[in-house]
Amino acid sequence: MADTLRHYGPAAVAWVLLAYRVSKGRRGAPDPARDTVWLVLLGLSLSLTLLTPAVYAFTGRVSGVPNLARLLGHGSMLVVAWSARTFLWHLNHPITEVQPRTRLHLGFLAATFAAMSVLFVLADTPVDDARFAARYAGDPWVLEYWLVYIAYLTPAFASMAVLGWAYAHMSTAPLLRVGLRLVAIGAFLAIGYNLHKALVFASERFGFSYPPAGHLLIDGVLPMLAHLLVLIGATLPAWGRLVNAPESLAWLSRYRTYQALRPLWRALYAASPHIALTPASPALVELVTVRDLNLRLYRRVIEIRDGRLALMPYLDLDTATAARARAAQAGLSGQALDAAAEAAALHAALHAKALGATAVFGPASHTPGGGDLDSDTVFLRDVARAFHRLERQSHHG
Amino acid sequence: MSAVPFRRLRRSLKSKVDALPLPTPFSIQALCELVAAERRRPIRLMPMARGVEVCGLWVALDETDLIFYEQTTTSHHQQHIILHELSHLLCNHYHSGAPEPDQWRYLLPDLDQGMVRRVLGRTAYTEIEEQEAELLASLIQQRARRLAPLQVAAETNALTGRIKTLLDWSGSGGPERPS
């Protein structure tokens, strides 16, 4: 059952996504990059399908060419790589510049596939076997075939990984952010798998030891996972809303913020227990408590603000200014700088209070923070993270 | 307050929160005006500077309710402090236990003590009135947030906006809530 799922699950997912894509037809303003998305989906689906044991055997039997599905599956991946690169070029260059490049790369693709076909024929692999590597890893031309194949794939996948991650960082839409990160991780894993496979072939050929060879997790699961991550990531912005993904992501983000606020809240609570409406729970209990998250997060933000007010007589303006200068020197700016300075000021004030310093009710100073609840929550999350780092440093120091 | 009394208190306050008419769009000032109109007693919001031990104070005079709130904190925290005092007023709380806070004397030195009917301050949650007001304030704020229109996360970057259009072919359109 697990094996069936591993072999056929990814292909089934791919075709469901592709069918959903087809059902939606052509949408949105005309864009030359649109068709490349199609091709990526189609290429991945074909590649996943050709490498399922049943289709692999069927292709070999019908064509009379053993292991032909392997060559065709890899051909589909070349198309995926070409499409992904074309997609990325379209994002950054006008169509007049993109067209000559894509044509040139189509030429590279054709040359690569031709070279792979020649090496495929040269390699003597008479038994049609979906577990190709286990049988033929050390045979002549198998390594060469693989090196030609990944030489074409790797630059495209590297662009997907690096740019996907960078664009995810730039985006403000949660689904796109997660989707692009999944694509980037998928591309990164694919590069890792391809290099691993090259080492497997090389080790068999040249007789050196390469222990990770033949590991089910790496050989069986990793390529499927890479495929699936790219597929799911690239289509998440389209189907995410059907499964309420934006709400789930927003919930997850609030949960993480709630957990991130804990160290700061805990320290302020220890100094001024009156700020808490309900007493502190152990960290583990908080980690597994999922109900009422909105109310609990709101309470935590309010109680941190109450804790800061209670600490104000111990806040020292000079300490805050010095901490700010240090943070600026370390290259921080904007909200990160404000948060680091505030964390240092609170850390020093808590320390002063614990040492029995005298409370000084001075003139009111500016309170750094966000203009509304959401932005203040984000600000306090950053403060709490910086505060946690300071706590760890002073603990180790 | 341990978990069980907290849940009980929360249940008992839920009907109060649900019954409360909330202004749209929600603002603390508008809610105060609504409550004031219903009670036929004006509510005055008075900022106060740090220096007194409380960060919020409700002073009920003969014909007016004064709500003092701490000024040296962020605006949503100020709003929460006002909501806390407003919750005392909505629950018709009387001060019990410890002596009444007298910080109002610093804030309103010229006021005749005979005019002051009731005083409640926001400090700790050791008394049931304080727990009730604090929780009610939190629950009102939560309900107001649920009623607020969906915040639109506009893709401000042209490049990622284009990627989003290319990858989101579902046609469901609609904006996403920012995380």
CA A72, CA A131: separation in Å to the nearest integer?
16
pLDDT of the residue at A3 = 81
Section B164-171 average pLDDT: 80
| Torsion (CA) A136, A139, A140, A143 in degrees, nearest 10 | 60
Task: Measure CB to CB from residue B160 to each of A27, A31, A170 and give the nearest one.
Answer: A170
Section A49-77 average pLDDT: 95
- As its CATH architecture, domain A2-243 has Up-down Bundle (1.20)
Give B151's pLDDT tier (boundaries 50, 70, 90). low
**Residue B86 corresponds to which amino acid?**
L
pLDDT beyond 70 at A357? yes
> In A86-95, which positions are buried (b, 16+ CB within 10 angstroms) versus exposed (e)?
bbbbbbeeee
CA B114, CA B103: separation in Å to the nearest integer?
16
pLDDT beyond 70 at B101? no
pLDDT of the residue at B178 = 42
CA A35, CA A87: separation in Å to the nearest integer?
9
Cβ within 8 Å, pair A91-B159:
yes
**A360 vs A46: which has the higher pLDDT:** A46
Which DSSP string do the residues of A231-247 spell out, in sequence order?
HHHHHHHHHGGGGTHHH
CA B68, CA B46: separation in Å to the nearest integer?
5
Give A173's pLDDT tier (boundaries 50, 70, 90). confident
Cβ within 8 Å, pair A309-B73:
yes
Question: Percent of chain A having pLDDT more than 90?
Answer: 63
Task: Determine which of A94-98, A240-244, B116-120, B129-133 has the lowest per-residue pLDDT on average.
Answer: B116-120
Question: Percent of chain B having pLDDT more than 90?
Answer: 34
| pLDDT tens per residue, range A302-314 | 999 999 999 998 9
| pLDDT tens per residue, range B52-96 | 677 888 888 888 999 999 988 999 999 999 999 999 999 888 765
Give A156's pLDDT tier (boundaries 50, 70, 90). very high
Give A229's pLDDT tier (boundaries 50, 70, 90). very high
A39 lies within 8 A of chain B by CB: no
Give B149's pLDDT tier (boundaries 50, 70, 90). low
Which DSSP string do the residues of A149-190 spell out, in sequence order?
HHHHHHHHHHHHHHHHHHHHHH---HHHHHHHHHHHHHHHHH
Query: Which helix or strand (DSSP H or E) is residue B118 part of?
Result: strand B118-121
Ranges of each domain in chain A: 2-243, 247-396
B169 lies within 8 A of chain A by CB: yes
* Omega before residue B25 within 30° of 0, cis: yes
Task: Measure CB to CB from residue A278 to each of B6, B153, B155 and give the nearest one.
Answer: B6
Residue B55's nearest CA partner among B112, B90, B97, B101 is: B101
Cβ within 8 Å, pair B177-A238:
no
C-alpha distances in angstroms, B71 versus A280, A374, B23, B78, B83? 28, 20, 24, 7, 14
Please, which residues bridge with residue B69 across strands?
A: B47, B56
pLDDT of the residue at A354 = 94
DSSP A221: I
* A235: alpha, beta or left? (left if phi > 0; alpha if psi -120 to 50): alpha
pLDDT of the residue at A317 = 82
**Residue B173 burial by CB count (10 A; 0-12/13-18/19+): exposed, middle or buried?**
exposed
Residues near A188 by beta carbon (within 8 Å), at least 6 away in sequence: A157, A161
Would you tell me which residues 86-145 of chain B have a C-beta closer than 8 angstroms to some C-beta of chain A? 123-126, 131, 134-135, 138-139, 141-142, 145
Phi/psi of residue A137, nearest 5 degrees: -50, -40
pLDDT beyond 60 at A66? yes
Task: Determine which of A16-20, A85-89, A207-211, B147-151 has the lowest per-residue pLDDT on average.
Answer: B147-151
Residue B86's nearest CA partner among B135, B133, B37 is: B133
